[in-house]
Structure 1
């Protein structure tokens, strides 16, 4: 959801064809888009490519957005689809840069964090998405359901299964809860 009436006005202008308004929206959300792409791809180059494609596809399809308040969810859905396509085309094993983008502190060492990111990357796509959206972007299950276009109960089930697989994979249970 967008926070301010200014953001909503920008979305409405962008829907009506304002390139400047769309540019301002992207400027507001660029760090979020990059962080999401980076968490999904694991490399700076891939993240930048995903963000670039997301911006372009979003620009071409902004007129299809029916609810301006849902711009962030809408652009996130585009980014996720592009990330999935990118992931399918890329090499199965993705190396993670040592210079990870800032995320909220997980309370673990860099080595443990790298292990966690690699374990997340090994999850099936649907589980990886719910984990990233829940724990790295702090979205609620209802928001995740809207972005992924699945029922809230399915999100809860995916989170439970993903946590179980991560615990098994890490054999230490870095994720509590």
Structure 2
């Protein structure tokens, strides 16, 4: 039987509980995806993103004994990071602004295509409008849309991360898409006049 060089999250957690230096493996594994998630939620400042991630990893480390190994560790880390991001928004009392990467431009284009907006609209203008509309919708809807369409999480993973029922996730996605579509339609109707 050959040992796999890749350890599961549960193995990494067990190692971290036994040796505090082993927690670094979890940080290494989750830092990049969590940083991307924080930026997609609208934390544009590198310093703020660093602060959110630092607080999230500190909370995870301090509360590692409370982690339930029957649940996915990744969802637990996303939940902690999400809560830290929301705390930052509350402290700053500003509306988050989402960040576009090249990868997200393709995803925004796919979301825009799915909203049934007239096909002749310039794609670049549409991507900018989708980006702006996503930043302007309600936080709970933006969160589920980012997790579903940008982070590609399943409904169950989103439910674990946000600590809401799966049915609520489906409702928020539906309402968020409708709010996004309505916002886009208003934007294009008002600019066509």
What is the TM-score of this pair, normalised by structure 2? 0.75
Distance 1:8 1:18 in 2: 14
- Which of residues 125, 134, 148 is equivalent to 1:134? 148
Distance 2:93 2:62 in 1: 29
Q: CA deviation at 1:117?
A: 3.0
- Which of residues 175, 182, 185 is equivalent to 1:161? 175
Larger radius of gyration: 2
Deviations 1:80-104 (A, max 9, x none): 111111111224244556x737448
Distance 2:142 2:38 in 1: 13
Q: CA deviation at 1:58?
A: 1.2
Distance 2:35 2:154 in 1: 20
- Say what the alpha-carbon RMSD is for the aligned residues: 2.6
Distance 1:143 1:123 in 2: 22
Distance 2:95 2:171 in 1: 26
Are 2:136 and 1:122 aligned? yes
Q: Which runs of 5+ in 1 are unaligned?
A: none
Q: What is the count of residue pairs matched by the alignment?
A: 168
Are the counterparts in 2 of residues 41 and 87 from structure 1 also a CA contact under 8 Å? Answer: no
Specify the alignment match of 1:80 in structure 2.
82
Residue 18 and residue 118 in structure 1: after superposition, are their counterparts in 2 closer, same or farther (change >3 A)? farther
Specify the alignment match of 2:92 in structure 1.
90
Q: How does 1:106-121 map to 2 (within 5 A)?
A: 106=107, 108=109, 112-121=126-135
